Structure 1
Amino acid sequence: MPTIRSAEVAEPGGPFRIVERELPEPGPGQVRIAVEACGVCRTDAAFVGAAFPEVPFPLVPGHEIAGRIDAVGAGVQQWTVGTRVAVGWFGGNCGICRSCREGDFIHCERIQVPGWAYPGGYSEAVVVPATAPARIPDAISAVEAAPMGCAGVATFTALRGSRARAGDLVAVLGLGGLGHLAVQFAVKLGFETVVVARGADRAEAATRLGAHHYVDSTAGDVAARLQELGGARVVLATAGDSAAMSATVDGLRPGGELVVVGADPEPIRVSPFQLIATSRSVHGHPSGTAREVEETLEFAALTGIRPITQTRPLAEAGAAYDRMLAGEARYRVVLTP
């Protein structure tokens, strides 16, 4: 029987180990993907730490998957062997809950996230629902495509669906794995782009990515600086820092919005007085559906947007994960089985 290698965690918070298991076969309505790349996302830490309910152990994380379909299950007509695909946070939906019946698949009550609903992409092969994959354009490599299934689609769809229009001032809070993609998308979507990050040393990186302005959050009042630039139509919060998010609210112009994609368990502190007279708003944004991942990849191929990655072999999954947690990786770590 053919086998595959996977990087798994046996218990909550435990170390990674490389294990061999039988090559899984796709069932009806499923496809198998030979994994060529899998991003290491900070949300993986929530799974490893059992912060989400009913996380199964032993656990194979990984929800930023790219590879090729190498087997299809019964009843699957839309996919053929050899097709290059990516699977992100959206790893399938139930099709019967209220959100699904309304066509709002990303808010499915039983959304199937790889590494949670089924073994994820820290592996040489994964079996996923046939609704999960997104086609990868020829111009995008597997290593480049993998982070687009989570970090890429989250930032692109958040900006594209926001109130901002070409020429508006848009601020990206944070310049990490999410932020460096958000800056590129904001510039290519035609926004006057501001990066807000900690320290003067990030200014050069922000400029390289195309930003028009840089605000050092340690050097003064962030909101006042944004207002000096005209007030932000949108602040896209990619950094997981609720205090930093709160500090941007008064930098929004009337009708502006703080869009949150970075996760932090601490509350965002906003007074009703900051919102009522100015019609400002604060709201969250999830990832994106398989079709939205395709649209993200297509836009990236068209405009030259690429994630900045560091690759590590699957055998070094534990070290790659630790590097991500320590903030030592700029900007995305990608495993290459």
Structure 2
Amino acid sequence: MRAWVVHRPRRYDPAAWRTEHPLVRTEKPDPLPGPHEIRIRVSACGVCRTDLHLAEGDLPPRRPDTLPGHEIVGTVDMVGTECQRFAAGDRVGIAWLRYTCGECRWCLRHRENLCPSARFTGWDADGGYAEFAVVDERFAYRIPDTFDDEHAAPLLCAGIIGFRALRLADCPPGGRLGIYGFGASAHLAAQVARHQGADIYVFTRSAHGKELARELGASFVGDPNTPPPQPLDAAVIFAPSGDIVPAALAALDRGGTVAIAGIHLTAIPQLDYVDALFGERVLRSVTANTRADGEEFLRIAAEAKVVVATSPYPFDAADRALTDLAAGRVRGAAVLC
């Protein structure tokens, strides 16, 4: 099968990436499903910022020539033994979380996202920058009919992780929610939050992001260091910049939470306890998701008629899609389809 792999991670450099891109086209054997596994013929795969972190080396590869991609939509074309949930012809999605042990204290407390034995698509196992992908059917999702393949793909990571970040930020009903960075994940989380009654304040340097935020009904749009007109009740940081953390905390009202949604963040500057955190302000991370998060988000996304902004790329242009993402040229979510 045709596939793209991260051959040698390197920091983004517009000049170097033209000739020495970390993504390399290759041919790999078609994968075969094992017990409990299904194989899908990939029809769409989102290009996630986590893929960029892998390509740039912020996320150290766990295997040589990693095949990225964990926002995968396709049709089941082969099932392994002991499969019961899906059959050939079913439309399914594969997301970031692909295995948990089911036995550790975190799994038993319904917090499988913290399982020490967890494995992840496009990092520990081959992802969706390919013609076929395999996953344990217990970690696959049914895709709501509301979304076609291209627009369903970003829901499977950008959507799910944004939804978990919203939950952990704990914005009260009718509260003011700050969103820092406005790309693939943020524009989906903003729509869910509005559906749930929040007032949305967006902070981003991206001209594309500002335009999209206004289209989606944000009450305020400004740069990350611009103070909001009123204190925020909660905030989610999607941009992978630690410099934003002090600004988000300064914008926060007493008792509010700032949730950091990304898997990678640059260094956070030194914080003054009284100015930044006193008043029971909370700063917390967000780690992956549970399958329950995924199922609930997909249901709410369909119910809320979430609009997924995508920038489609042909499969043969995966390297260009990742380059555009690194350069901030993607509006919404890039999708290989």
TM-score (norm 1): 0.89
User: Measured at CA, do residues 195 and 8 of structure 1 come closer, stay the same or move farther in structure 2, by a change above 3 Å?
Assistant: same
Report the CA distance between 1:23 and its aligned residue. Answer: 1.7
RMSD, aligned α-carbons? 2.1
What residue is the counterpart of 2:240 in the other structure? 240
What residue is the counterpart of 1:328 in the other structure? 329
1:290-319 deviation line (CA, Å, top 9, x unaligned): 332232222111111122111112111111
- Aligned counterpart for 2:30 among listed residues 23, 26, 37: 23
Which segments of 5 or more consecutive residues in structure 1 lack a partner in the other structure?
Answer: none
* 2:279 is the alignment partner of 1:281: no
What residue is the counterpart of 2:17 in the other structure? none
The 3-state SS of whatever aligns with 1:66 is strand
User: Measured at CA, do residues 295 and 257 of structure 1 come closer, stay the same or move farther in structure 2, by a change above 3 Å?
Assistant: same
Greater Cα shift, 203-212 or 306-315: 203-212
User: Measured at CA, do residues 8 and 54 of structure 1 come closer, stay the same or move farther in structure 2, by a change above 3 Å?
Assistant: closer
The 3-state SS of whatever aligns with 1:120 is coil
1:79-134 deviation line (CA, Å, top 9, x unaligned): 22222211221122122333223331111112221111111100111111222211
CA contact (8 A) 1:31 1:129 kept: yes
How is 1:29-108 mapped onto 2 (pairs within 5 angstroms)? 29-53=36-60, 55-108=62-115
Which segments of 5 or more consecutive residues in structure 2 lack a partner in the other structure?
Answer: 11-20
Q: Which amino acid aligns with 1:8?
A: V
* 2:313 is the alignment partner of 1:302: no
User: Measured at CA, do residues 321 and 216 of structure 1 come closer, stay the same or move farther in structure 2, by a change above 3 Å?
Assistant: closer
User: How far apart, CA to CA, are the structure 2 residues paired with 1:101 and 1:266?
Assistant: 33
1:125-179 deviation line (CA, Å, top 9, x unaligned): 1111222211101111111111111111111122134321221111111112222
The 3-state SS of whatever aligns with 2:169 is coil
How is 1:108-147 mapped onto 2 (pairs within 5 angstroms)? 108-147=115-154
User: How far apart, CA to CA, are the structure 1 residues paired with 2:22 and 2:59?
Assistant: 18
User: How far apart, CA to CA, are the structure 2 residues paired with 1:154 and 1:41?
Assistant: 11
How many residue pairs get aligned? The number is 326
- Aligned counterpart for 2:8 among listed residues 7, 11, 14: 11
CA contact (8 A) 2:168 2:259 kept: no
User: How far apart, CA to CA, are the structure 2 residues paired with 1:9 and 1:157?
Assistant: 28
1:217-264 deviation line (CA, Å, top 9, x unaligned): 46xxx3xx33x42x2110111111211221121221110011111332
- Aligned counterpart for 2:219 among listed residues 209, 212, 219: 212
CA contact (8 A) 1:173 1:245 kept: no
Q: Which 4+ residue blocks in structure 1 deviate beyond 6 angstroms?
A: none
User: How far apart, CA to CA, are the structure 1 residues paired with 2:277 and 2:63?
Assistant: 44
What residue is the counterpart of 1:259 in the other structure? 259
CA contact (8 A) 1:64 1:89 kept: yes
Q: Which amino acid aligns with 1:260?
A: I
Report the CA distance between 1:70 and its aligned residue. Answer: 1.7
The 3-state SS of whatever aligns with 1:245 is helix
User: How far apart, CA to CA, are the structure 1 residues paired with 2:60 and 2:207?
Assistant: 40
CA contact (8 A) 1:249 1:270 kept: no
Q: Which amino acid aligns with 1:209?
A: L
CA contact (8 A) 1:134 1:294 kept: yes
The 3-state SS of whatever aligns with 1:127 is strand
What residue is the counterpart of 2:186 in the other structure? 179
What residue is the counterpart of 2:14 in the other structure? none
- Aligned counterpart for 1:155 among listed residues 155, 162, 170: 162
Report the CA distance between 1:20 and its aligned residue. Answer: 2.4
Report the CA distance between 1:53 and its aligned residue. Answer: 4.6
CA contact (8 A) 1:197 1:217 kept: yes
CA contact (8 A) 1:59 1:119 kept: yes
The 3-state SS of whatever aligns with 1:24 is coil
TM-score (norm 2): 0.89
Report the CA distance between 1:50 and its aligned residue. Answer: 4.2
The 3-state SS of whatever aligns with 1:43 is helix
The 3-state SS of whatever aligns with 1:146 is helix
Report the CA distance between 1:32 and its aligned residue. Answer: 0.9
